[in-house]
């Protein structure tokens, strides 16, 4: 997102977002790199069976801790040993990708003065369980690829929406996280 991306603003709110606040944040980060640093954490606890509970207590931005309190659960379908009462980890992963991109579309469009009337993202992919069950060492443990369909209706030309789409693909943290290899340090603590 470029702070110079601008369009005449009749109202400071576009797509339910405060454009002046977004521009203020972009300008503040452009002037002081320390304000750009964020840190995110989710604590997850096994609840028995295939159910886990996940909790967010807050995050850090620009060196300041911000309290937030959210909790949700995950499960597996009955066919994979779960109770089918909650979304499974794959559905949560794909929803995280979609949610991040939706924010990107709403924000980028708002900064361009484009009002979105409707926006839907559908992401799908296949996982061959032989990889996860270690029945084949030639089978990937996860997705080989993902497919997305983005449906948008907005007061913009096809060219403007293509510009928004390209910006989202360039700037979405979760699109980056899904499409790039990210090192993970995993430490086992036995209690």
pTM summary value:
0.90
Write down the pLDDT at residue 1. Answer: 52
Q: State the pLDDT at residue 11.
A: 64
> Has residue 97 been placed in a domain?
yes
Hey, which bits of the chain come out as E strands? 13-14, 17-18, 38-39, 43-48, 51-61, 64-74, 116-125, 146-154
Q: Tell me which residue has tokens 């977004």.
A: 22
Domain identity same for 131 and 100: yes
What is the extent of the structural domain holding 155? 88-179
Q: Is residue 74 part of a domain?
A: yes
- Looking at residue 186, the DSSP 8-state letter turns out to be -
Same domain, 52 and 66: yes
Mark which of 52, 86, 120 sits at the end of a domain.
Answer: 86
Whether 190 maps to a domain, the answer reads no
Residues 6+ positions from 48 with CB-CB distance below 8 Å = none
Is residue 67 in some structural domain? yes
User: Does one domain contain both 43 and 101?
Assistant: no
Same domain, 66 and 43: yes
Write the CATH number for 146: 3.30.300.20
Counted domains in the chain: 2
In a domain, residue 95? The reply is: yes
Please check whether residue 7 lies inside any domain of the structure: no
The pair phi, psi for residue 116, each rounded to 5°, is -90, 130
Has residue 52 been placed in a domain? yes
**What integer pLDDT is reported at residue 9 of this predicted model?**
47
**Whole-Å CA distances, 110 to 27, 42, 96, 153:** 16, 29, 21, 14
Whole-number pLDDT of residue 3: 42
User: Does 69 share its domain with 107?
Assistant: no
CA distance 58 to 38: 11
> pLDDT digit of tens for each residue in the chain (191 aa)?
554 444 444 568 999 999 999 999 999 999 999 999 999 999 999 999 999 999 999 999 999 999 999 999 999 999 999 999 999 999 999 999 999 999 999 999 999 999 999 999 999 999 999 999 999 999 999 999 999 999 999 999 999 999 999 999 999 999 999 999 999 999 999 99
Q: Nearest to residue 147, comparing CAs of 80, 76, 97, 92? A: 97
Whether 156 maps to a domain, the answer reads yes
- 81 CA to centre of own chain: 27
């Amino acid at each position: 997102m470029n702070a110079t991306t601008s369009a005449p603003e009749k109202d400071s709110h576009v797509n339910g977002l405060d454009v002046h606040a977004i521009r203020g944040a972009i300008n503040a980060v452009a002037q002081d790199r320390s304000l750009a640093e964020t840190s995110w954490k989710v604590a997850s606890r096994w609840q028995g069976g295939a159910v886990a509970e996940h909790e967010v207590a807050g995050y850090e931005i620009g060196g300041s801790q911000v309290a937030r309190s959210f909790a949700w659960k995950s499960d597996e379908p009955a066919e994979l040993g779960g109770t089918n009462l909650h979304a499974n980890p794959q559905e949560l992963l794909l929803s995280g990708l979609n949610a991040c991109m939706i924010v990107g579309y709403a924000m980028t469009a708002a900064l361009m003065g484009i009002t979105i009337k409707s926006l839907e993202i559908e992401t799908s992919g296949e996982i061959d369980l032989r990889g996860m069950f270690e029945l084949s060492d030639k089978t990937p443990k996860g997705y080989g690829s993902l497919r997305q369909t983005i449906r948008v209706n907005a007061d913009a030309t096809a060219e403007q929406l293509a510009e928004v789409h390209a910006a989202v693909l360039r700037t979405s943290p979760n699109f980056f996280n899904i499409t790039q290899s990210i090192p993970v340090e995993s430490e086992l603590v036995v209690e």
